[in-house]
A and B are shown apart, each in its own frame.
Chain A
C-alpha cells in the first residue's frame, strides 16, 4: 500500500473551492537566512528552507528556538511589519523576493493567522470580519458573496455568519481568523500554534479543518509544540534549535533518531514512544507516527508469526 504523498494529493485535487489549482513548484524558499532582533535573544542563523506547493510543513522546537521568527520570515511579516537589526540572505515567496517586494503584493499570496486569534479579529460580525479584505481589494459584490458563502461552508461557520466573533468559543474564533484569510484565497496559509490555546473540542475542530485543507491541496506552514494530534496531517517536520534548523524530514524519518528528537525537546507522541520501546526490545524497521500506522505494523507482526 503506497503512502499518499502531497504530490499525489495535488495531482488529484480539484480545489476549485479555494481557487488554487496550479503547477507544482517550490512556493517558498529561504536561502542562507540570518535574522536578529534588537535587544532580544531570538534569532535565526543560516537557515535554508524550501517548501513545495501543497505541502503541509510543521515547524517545531523548544522555546526561543526561532520557530515563530521563521514563520514570520517565510510569510514576509519580517522584514515588513517587524523591525529587525539584521536581515541577511533571501526569502522567495511564490518566486518573489520578500525583501524587495511590497508587502501588499506578498499578502496576496500569504494568509497569516497569529497565535491569539482575537488579536486579528475586529469585525462586529463574522461576515464583516471576513469581507474586510475583499472589500479592500475592490472585488465585485457578487464575487464577495460567492467567496463568503464558499468559505463559511468550508470552515463550517455558516450558522455564525451574523454572530459577534468575540462571543464564540476558542476553536470558533480560530476558525473565523482562518476563514478571514482563506476568503482572500492565499496560496499559502501560515498558522502560529493554531491549537495550543484550545480545549479538546476546539482542537478537534481545527484538526478537521486541517484535514480539509490538506485534501484541497493547500500549502500550509504551521508552528506547533504539541504535535501528537497534528502529525497525521503533516508532510514534513522542521525542527529548530537556537535559531538553526537541526532536523528536516518527513514524519517517520524525523522520529527515526530517538536521542536527537529528545534532545530537541520535541513532545514525542505516545505512539512514537511505544514504537521506540518496541524497537529497543524486538526491533522495528520504521517508526510509525500515527495510531493507524502502528496498529497495522503490530497486526502484521502478529499474523506473520501465526
Chain B
C-alpha cells in the first residue's frame, strides 16, 4: 500500500485573528481506500478536504499529495490528481450543454480531442446519465445534476475523488448509484474521501471512518470500530445506528452495524 495523502500536524485558520478551524490534524490515506469523514457542521470536515486539492493551504503543518507538498503546488497542478465534487452541484455546474460541462476539465488538462470524447462518454456512462450531450444542465433534476457534477470530475481521471455530502437530497437509487461508482473506483485502486451525515450509508460503504469534532480528529477506525463505541458517538452527538441500538436494548452480546449481521445475530438470539 502506498500513501497517497499525508497530513502532518495541520493547523488552519481563515484569518490571523480568527479561531483555529483545524487543530493539529494527522491523517494518512492510502491507495484503494474509501474513507468517510463524519462530524457535526462546523467541525472542519470541508476545511480539511479543501486542503487535499490545494484550495486551502495550511497555516501550520504540511499536506502531501502523492509525495508533493501542496504548499509548493498550484491548485491546477493538483487537479490532475485530486477531483473535488462540491456540496451543491449548482455551485459547480456552469456550462450551457452537458458536453461542454463534462469536457471542460479534460480540455483544460490538455487531453487530446479523441481522449476528451472518450472521457466524456465513459464518465457519463459511469454515472448512468443517459441524456443527449447538448441538453442544458439547468434542465436536469437535482439528482441528475449531482451525477453530472461527479461526471465532470471523473472525466479528469483523478487518483483521489473527494465528495462533499454527495447523497444529500438524493433518492435511494441515486445514493446507491453514487456509492457503487465510489466502490468501483476504490476497487480499481483509486481513493475516495467522502463527507456524509448519512450514518447508515457510511457504515455500509466505508473502509474507514474518521470522526471529527471541533477541528480535531477524535477517532479513525473501521466502521464497526466507530459505530459500536456508543460513548464516542454520544460525545460527538451522533445517534447510534438503529441495529446497534436495538442489539444493546435486547442485551445482545455483540453489536452489529449492518442489517445482515443483525439478522444473523437475531437468528441465534431467538430460541428455535
Q: CB distance B243 to A274 under 8 Å?
A: yes
A244→B205 CA distance, assembly (Å): 32
* In the complex, residue of chain A having the shortest beta-carbon distance to the beta carbon of B199: A200
Beta-carbon contacts under 8 Å, B255-269 to A: 259-260, 262-263, 266-267, 269
* In the complex, residue of chain B having the shortest beta-carbon distance to the beta carbon of A199: B41
Mark A104-141 against chain B: 1 for CB-CB distance below 8 A, else 0.
Answer: 00000000000100000000000000000000000000
Given A271-B246, A274-B259, is A169 in contact with B172 using a C-beta cutoff of 8 Å? no
The binding surface of chain A is classed by DSSP as: loop
Given A200-B40, A225-B169, A267-B172, is A277 in contact with B263 using a C-beta cutoff of 8 Å? yes
Beta-carbon contacts under 8 Å, B117-157 to A: 139, 141-144
| Cβ–Cβ < 8 Å partners of A62 in chain B | 143, 171-174
Q: CB distance A39 to B139 under 8 Å?
A: yes
Q: CB distance A266 to B172 under 8 Å?
A: yes
Q: CB distance B169 to A197 under 8 Å?
A: yes
Choose from B175, B266, B271 the contact partner of A278 (Cβ within 8 Å).
B266
Binds B, one of A146-154, A211-219, A251-259, A296-304: A296-304
Given A299-B250, A305-B271, is A265 in contact with B243 using a C-beta cutoff of 8 Å? no
A158→B206 CA distance, assembly (Å): 40
Q: CB distance A291 to B141 under 8 Å?
A: no
A282→B270 CA distance, assembly (Å): 10
Beta-carbon contacts under 8 Å, B157-176 to A: 168-175
* In the complex, residue of chain B having the shortest beta-carbon distance to the beta carbon of A298: B250
Beta-carbon contacts under 8 Å, A247-306 to B: 265-271, 273-274, 277-278, 281-282, 291, 294-295, 298-299, 301-302, 305-306
* In the complex, residue of chain A having the shortest beta-carbon distance to the beta carbon of B42: A169
B197 is an interface residue with CB less than 8 A from chain A:
yes
Q: CB distance A41 to B141 under 8 Å?
A: yes
A186 is an interface residue with CB less than 8 A from chain B:
no
Q: CB distance B237 to A306 under 8 Å?
A: no
User: What is the minimal beta-carbon distance from B84 to any residue of chain A, in angstroms?
Assistant: 20
Choose from B144, B170, B237 the contact partner of A225 (Cβ within 8 Å).
B170
User: What is the minimal beta-carbon distance from B71 to any residue of chain A, in angstroms?
Assistant: 31
Q: CB distance A271 to B172 under 8 Å?
A: no
A161 is an interface residue with CB less than 8 A from chain B:
no
Q: CB distance B238 to A273 under 8 Å?
A: no
* In the complex, residue of chain B having the shortest beta-carbon distance to the beta carbon of A64: B141
| Cβ–Cβ < 8 Å partners of B174 in chain A | 62-63
A45 is an interface residue with CB less than 8 A from chain B:
no
Q: CB distance B262 to A274 under 8 Å?
A: yes
Choose from A170, A269, A298 the contact partner of B270 (Cβ within 8 Å).
A298
A3 is an interface residue with CB less than 8 A from chain B:
no
A21 is an interface residue with CB less than 8 A from chain B:
no
Beta-carbon contacts under 8 Å, B186-237 to A: 197-200, 237
Given A204-B237, A278-B266, is A267 in contact with B250 using a C-beta cutoff of 8 Å? no
Q: CB distance B141 to A63 under 8 Å?
A: yes
Q: CB distance A196 to B169 under 8 Å?
A: yes
Q: CB distance A63 to B246 under 8 Å?
A: no
Q: CB distance A228 to B246 under 8 Å?
A: no
| Cβ–Cβ < 8 Å partners of A305 in chain B | 270-271
B254 is an interface residue with CB less than 8 A from chain A:
no
Q: CB distance A199 to B197 under 8 Å?
A: yes
User: What is the minimal beta-carbon distance from B188 to any residue of chain A, in angstroms?
Assistant: 27
* In the complex, residue of chain A having the shortest beta-carbon distance to the beta carbon of B176: A265
B245 is an interface residue with CB less than 8 A from chain A:
yes
Beta-carbon contacts under 8 Å, B16-69 to A: 40-42
User: What is the minimal beta-carbon distance from B200 to any residue of chain A, in angstroms?
Assistant: 6
User: What is the minimal beta-carbon distance from A225 to any residue of chain B, in angstroms?
Assistant: 6
Given A228-B200, A305-B271, is A281 in contact with B263 using a C-beta cutoff of 8 Å? yes
Q: CB distance B239 to A200 under 8 Å?
A: yes
| Cβ–Cβ < 8 Å partners of A198 in chain B | 41, 197
B-to-A contact residues, CB < 8 Å = 40-42, 139, 141-144, 168-175, 197-200, 237-239, 241-243, 245-246, 249-250, 259-260, 262-263, 266-267, 269-271
A-to-B contact residues, CB < 8 Å = 39-42, 61-65, 115, 169-170, 193, 196-204, 225-226, 228-229, 265-271, 273-274, 277-278, 281-282, 291, 294-295, 298-299, 301-302, 305-306
Q: Which 9 A-B pairs have the closest CB atoms?
A: A63-B143, A277-B263, A62-B171, A270-B242, A273-B259, A199-B41, A64-B141, A265-B172, A305-B271
27 contacts between A and B (CB under 8 A): A41-B141, A63-B143, A63-B171, A63-B174, A169-B42, A197-B168, A200-B197, A200-B199, A200-B237, A203-B197, A226-B198, A228-B200, A229-B239, A265-B171, A265-B172, A265-B173, A267-B175, A270-B241, A270-B242, A273-B259, A274-B243, A274-B246, A274-B263, A274-B266, A291-B245, A291-B246, A298-B266
